Amino acid sequence: EKDPVTVLVTGAAGQVGYALVPLIARGVMLGPDQPVILHMLGIELAKEALDAVKMELIDAAFPLLKGVIATTDVVEACTGVDIAVMVGGFPRKEGMERRDVMSNNVSIYKAQASALEKHASANCKVLVVANPANTNAFILKEFAPSIPDKNITCLTRLDHNRALGQISERLDVHVNKVKNVIIWGNHSSTQYPDASHATVTTDSGEMSVTKAVSNDQWLKTELIATVQQRGAAIIQARKQSSALSAASSACDHIRDWVLGTPKGSWVSMGVYSDGSYGIPAGLIYSFPVTCEKGEWSIVQGLKIDEFSRTKMDATTNDLIEEKSLAYSCLNE
């Protein structure tokens, strides 16, 4: 039997956390033959709920689950962690200023960055889910300088999967026949869901999605708007934000990162920009990536037309603005 991998989930008593921990314990994240130890971090206010999640994990008798810690102690939570999924955060409540939300999250991610840096495994892989995801990841990177840049990512896989889902519905093909959409930029409403490189497999072989939908306007307007606003549509319908799809996509993100992407296909991940496609180096920006042997690389050489350029720049500017807001909160 393999040695267990220790996975941290922060905010584990929340909605996404509650949907995520059973998937991890079932092997959806790391594979059906990989034992796991779960570390769950919560805050005092949610401690009872967190303990209840631990009780349920024990009750479910998962064969792969070799241990569970439920704690409010950030050092205990981060110690020996191989994979950290950061779901905990301060949500935006009605009437709250964007600055207040940012300020709260910046201080959470600053503190947790230091704990991860000091106590997690040297090669710990980090996925930030909590919003503002890209900027929380950026702050984490700033305050954990000894964690390699390549190990700090944020979740845009849900947006990626949403785009695949919309195209599959439109073309009436199974979602696994569609691939290589791209989410560029920020996990916010400025993100750019780009289907111009996507393909679909039909009875007559593989073809571009642009050709298959035979309606470029749909890709350039409705698809983009639907994916950008899908989170809001779920909130409106459910009165709570997406949870099962977020948890499932977080598993997809880590699984592909650790175990690799299938040949000929890429996925979207928020990663440290190296300046590819003219995106300012150092931003945490969502790119198309392939993964092999536990490392992601940005897909190179894709043609970027003027339409895409404008959209990619708009989401860049949004991220630059978030970054300066985050810095100004740090200096308060």
Query: Before 288, cis peptide (omega within 30)?
Result: no
Binders of ligand NAI among residues 122 to 151 (CB under 6 A) are: 129-131, 133
Closest to ligand NAI by CB, 210 or 268: 268
Stretch that binds ligand NAI, among 15-23, 28-36, 208-216, 300-308 (CB under 6 A): 15-23
With binding defined as CB under 6 A, does residue 91 bind ligand NAI? yes
Stretch that binds ligand NAI, among 82-90, 167-175, 189-197, 321-329 (CB under 6 A): 82-90
Q: Which residue is nearest to ligand NAI (CB)?
A: 14
Under DSSP, is residue 56 helix (H, G, I), strand (E, B) or coil? helix
With binding defined as CB under 6 A, does residue 289 bind ligand NAI? no
User: Is 187 among the residues known to form the active site?
Assistant: yes
Q: Which helix (H) or strand (E) holds 288?
A: strand 284-292
Distance, in Å, from the CA atom of 183 to the CA atom of 166, rounded to the nearest integer, reads 14
Distance, in Å, from the CA atom of 19 to the CA atom of 255, rounded to the nearest integer, reads 16
Closest to ligand NAI by CB, 35 or 285: 285
Distance, in Å, from the CA atom of 144 to the CA atom of 146, rounded to the nearest integer, reads 6
Per-residue binding letters, 167-206, with ligand NAI (x by CB under 6 A): --------------------x-------------------
CA atoms within 13 A of residue 310's CA, in its CB half-sphere: 3
Tell whether residue 15 is among the known ligand binding residues.
yes
Q: Which of 5, 68, 106, 158 binds ligand NAI (CB under 6 A)?
A: 158
Tell whether residue 99 is among the known ligand binding residues.
no
Q: Which residue has the tokens 């971090």?
A: 41
Work out whether the CA dihedral 236, 242, 245, 249 comes out positive or negative. Answer: positive
Strand order in the sheet with 199-202: 178-179, 199-202, 205-208
- CA 23 to each of CA 259, 264, 271: distance values in angstroms, whole numbers, following the listed order: 16, 27, 24
Stretch that binds ligand NAI, among 11-19, 25-33, 174-182, 308-316 (CB under 6 A): 11-19
Residue 235's CB: how many other CB atoms inside 10 A? 12
Q: Which of 39, 119, 174, 187 is catalytic?
A: 187
Q: Point out the annotated binding site.
A: 11-17, 92, 98, 105, 129-131, 162
Q: List, by residue number, the catalytic residues.
A: 187
Footprint of ligand NAI (CB under 6 A): 10-11, 13-17, 41-43, 46, 87-91, 108, 129-131, 133, 155, 158, 187, 241-243, 246
